[in-house]
Chains A and B, each alone.
Chain A
């Protein structure tokens, strides 16, 4: 998915994250490429352990030790300079991990909500303190504009005061639909339910007006009814602010509901990418097809849901050729277990990593032979 255009917010090129552990090397992310666009939602889907969270952490330059990250993560940050908008290119992967520049991005330009609402809030701080902590770091209020309209754009900014931070906290908690926000602002995490805590996490994440919200399986730990509420809330809030979302999930239904574009990941690589509409209508990669076949449809009487046979392979002992081949219903013997497929364009703005679509492959003699045999 493509060339850098105006609306690109974050671009990830050839991202690799590897862990050297005692049993060998784990390539948690193995050459991922994708683009997050301003104001749009990109869904990332894949089974547990395929590297979704690591990708998210890479965007914040927060890959945990002993992980090593290579490749490029570029943020195209917009800001106003001398009255005109400029886009600044920031190579996130090259920033000092605890330096001021990345800390201003983390929690300011890019915020994140996590899978475990139960343990993502510090138990000894109130909901309000979490928000205030973020707001004090990242939100600045204009000081009375100096001069006339000519200089309007050279406004001075100042940090928010503790009282203003508290007001913002209450206001945010109200926005995320926490009942009694004025009192709840002083609640400790253990006094809130799982859904309420996730609302608080969202409030923290949105309180600093980020350009990108990374939501790493934000509803996996919640009941279905709460999940629906949280998803609705996120969509509503996204409409009111100009914010992109990177939505990580392992649930196709959630992708359908939330995302504009999607990336399907398998074992650290993207295997299919494109717009949600295109992929749902016309999935190309066998893995995507299986994922789609496993969504239960509403109103449908007990149909056997397709399951994907087998388990994800051990990262220390990856299958040869296409890593998906031991589980693939379209497995082509002699080919899929030998040749590593590349990402190929399969339709307009839709790519898949499968030998069936490899531009070189279908025309080769071996391909014809395999087809004839089948």
Chain B
């Protein structure tokens, strides 16, 4: 098990290096980088000191050097915790990402918890009572949920909340708390805002999760070991939860690692943009469109990092659930 872990971590590091390199390349690919643009703009305005400042950045981050050297400077700073400068805001990337990262993680965890708390019981109910009225209602709602894009739902919620109910649901904080230091009142304000995007995310996520849970559980319930467990006189509930769900939940755990973790940063960008959330998503989109390379590169590497961490956690959880995975 330990050697298995070490091997996985080793692969993950190699993967991370590769991805960071490729993302760096891609971000730098378009002709004329952010710097050229900025300098042209500043020169046109005749802002001499600003031009000098930007030239200074160019030298500091080796932007006049060959690509490989640029990458090396960036990545070696990166591992030391210096993610570079956002040229657009002229502030360190780390500073800009900091609080947004916390909020992104908080939002995702809330969404995920709501999703699973709703989806797993409904999926189990649906499978156990296949073709019952309840199953059909759940299935219909699930299909609507799968078809309904999250941003559309967000727009609908905005419309209802602002136009009809006259409620403030945009963002994650009320105006008075926006820049206030953390306090109990601010946390309470955050929670009051958080449930809207969390619920929107959960509605769209729940639908798919219900379908997956239902399908897998139906497969598992048809297996001989389920009948054998019943024949041992176990309660139906125990057979379903201890023998069947435990087997049927594996794909959800895999999704947790491959979608939910990387999704923390970029899972629901459209909804986040529509609701104007101070999370990573909108920042990332902005960085990509303005070629703010260090900002975009940092978020991309963080996404991949989360993906790899997610995979690692998935492997561990799977090994815990299913002994057959443990040996390999």
Known: A119-B225, A122-B225, A188-B323. A107 touches B234 (CB 8 A): yes
- Is B32 part of the binding interface, using a Cβ–Cβ cutoff of 8 Å? no
A103 to B228, Cβ gap below 8 A? no
CA of A138 to CA of B234, assembled, Å: 10
Q: Which one, B224, B232, B246, B324, contacts A106 given CB within 8 A?
A: B232
B324 to A123, Cβ gap below 8 A? yes
Which residues of chain A are near B247, meaning CB under 8 Å?
122-124
- Is A271 part of the binding interface, using a Cβ–Cβ cutoff of 8 Å? no
Extra inter-chain contacts (4) besides given A104-B233, A204-B232, CB under 8 Å: A105-B233, A119-B225, A122-B243, A123-B225
In the assembled complex, 10 residue pairs joining A and B whose CB atoms fall closer than 8 Å, in A order, are A64-B227, A104-B233, A105-B233, A114-B228, A119-B223, A119-B224, A123-B247, A124-B323, A125-B243, A133-B234
Chain B contact residues: over half helix, strand or loop, or mixed?
A: helix
A103 to B233, Cβ gap below 8 A? yes
- Is B235 part of the binding interface, using a Cβ–Cβ cutoff of 8 Å? yes
Q: How many residues of B contact A (CB 8 A)?
A: 20
Seen from chain B, the residues whose Cβ lies within 8 Å of a Cβ on chain A are 223-225, 227-236, 243, 246-247, 321-324
When C-beta atoms are compared, the residue in chain A nearest to B244 turns out to be A122
CA of A121 to CA of B223, assembled, Å: 10
Which residues of chain B are near A62, meaning CB under 8 Å?
227, 230-231
Interface centre among B225, B243, B321, B322 (most CB of A within 10 A): B225
Which residues of chain A are near B323, meaning CB under 8 Å?
123-124, 188, 190
- Is A108 part of the binding interface, using a Cβ–Cβ cutoff of 8 Å? yes
- How many residue pairs link A and B with beta carbons under 8 A? The number is 70
**CB within 8 Å of B: which A77-123 residues:** 98, 103-108, 111-112, 114-116, 119-123
B231 to A60, Cβ gap below 8 A? yes
Q: In the complex, how many angstroms separate the beta carbon of A196 from the nearest chain B beta carbon?
A: 16
Q: In the complex, how many angstroms separate the beta carbon of B175 from the nearest chain A beta carbon?
A: 52
Interface centre among A106, A124, A204 (most CB of B within 10 A): A124
CA of A60 to CA of B223, assembled, Å: 18
Q: Which 6 A-B pairs have the closest CB atoms?
A: A107-B233, A107-B232, A106-B233, A188-B323, A120-B228, A103-B233
B321 to A111, Cβ gap below 8 A? no
Q: Which one, A108, A114, A124, contacts B224 given CB within 8 A?
A: A114
Q: How many residues of A contact B (CB 8 A)?
A: 31
When C-beta atoms are compared, the residue in chain B nearest to A107 turns out to be B233
Q: In the complex, how many angstroms separate the beta carbon of B135 from the nearest chain A beta carbon?
A: 13
Which residues of chain A are near B243, meaning CB under 8 Å?
122, 125
CA of A107 to CA of B225, assembled, Å: 14
Known: A62-B230, A188-B323, A190-B324. A120 touches B225 (CB 8 A): yes
A121 to B234, Cβ gap below 8 A? no
- Is A137 part of the binding interface, using a Cβ–Cβ cutoff of 8 Å? yes
Interface centre among A62, A120, A122 (most CB of B within 10 A): A122
- Is A352 part of the binding interface, using a Cβ–Cβ cutoff of 8 Å? no
CA of A138 to CA of B233, assembled, Å: 8
Interface string of A296-309 (1 = CB under 8 A from B): 00000000000000
Q: Which one, A103, A104, A114, A124, contacts B321 given CB within 8 A?
A: A124
When C-beta atoms are compared, the residue in chain B nearest to A129 turns out to be B242
Q: In the complex, how many angstroms separate the beta carbon of B25 from the nearest chain A beta carbon?
A: 44
When C-beta atoms are compared, the residue in chain B nearest to A108 turns out to be B233
**CB within 8 Å of B: which A39-64 residues:** 60, 62, 64
CA of A125 to CA of B236, assembled, Å: 17
CA of A120 to CA of B223, assembled, Å: 8
- Is A10 part of the binding interface, using a Cβ–Cβ cutoff of 8 Å? no
CA of A194 to CA of B321, assembled, Å: 23
Which residues of chain A are near B232, meaning CB under 8 Å?
106-107, 111, 130, 133-134, 137, 204
Q: In the complex, how many angstroms separate the beta carbon of B228 from the nearest chain A beta carbon?
A: 4
Interface centre among B223, B234, B323 (most CB of A within 10 A): B323
Which residues of chain B are near A188, meaning CB under 8 Å?
323-324
CA of A4 to CA of B7, assembled, Å: 68
When C-beta atoms are compared, the residue in chain A nearest to B236 turns out to be A98
A137 to B225, Cβ gap below 8 A? no
CA of A105 to CA of B230, assembled, Å: 11
CA of A279 to CA of B323, assembled, Å: 48
CA of A64 to CA of B228, assembled, Å: 13
Q: In the complex, how many angstroms separate the beta carbon of A190 from the nearest chain B beta carbon?
A: 5
Which residues of chain A are near B233, meaning CB under 8 Å?
103-108, 134, 137-138
When C-beta atoms are compared, the residue in chain A nearest to B223 turns out to be A119
Which residues of chain B are near A201, meaning CB under 8 Å?
228
Q: In the complex, how many angstroms separate the beta carbon of A241 from the nearest chain B beta carbon?
A: 18
Q: In the complex, how many angstroms separate the beta carbon of B219 from the nearest chain A beta carbon?
A: 12
Which residues of chain A are near B246, meaning CB under 8 Å?
124
Q: In the complex, how many angstroms separate the beta carbon of B63 from the nearest chain A beta carbon?
A: 55
Which residues of chain A are near B223, meaning CB under 8 Å?
119
Q: In the complex, how many angstroms separate the beta carbon of A134 from the nearest chain B beta carbon?
A: 5
Q: In the complex, how many angstroms separate the beta carbon of B36 from the nearest chain A beta carbon?
A: 59
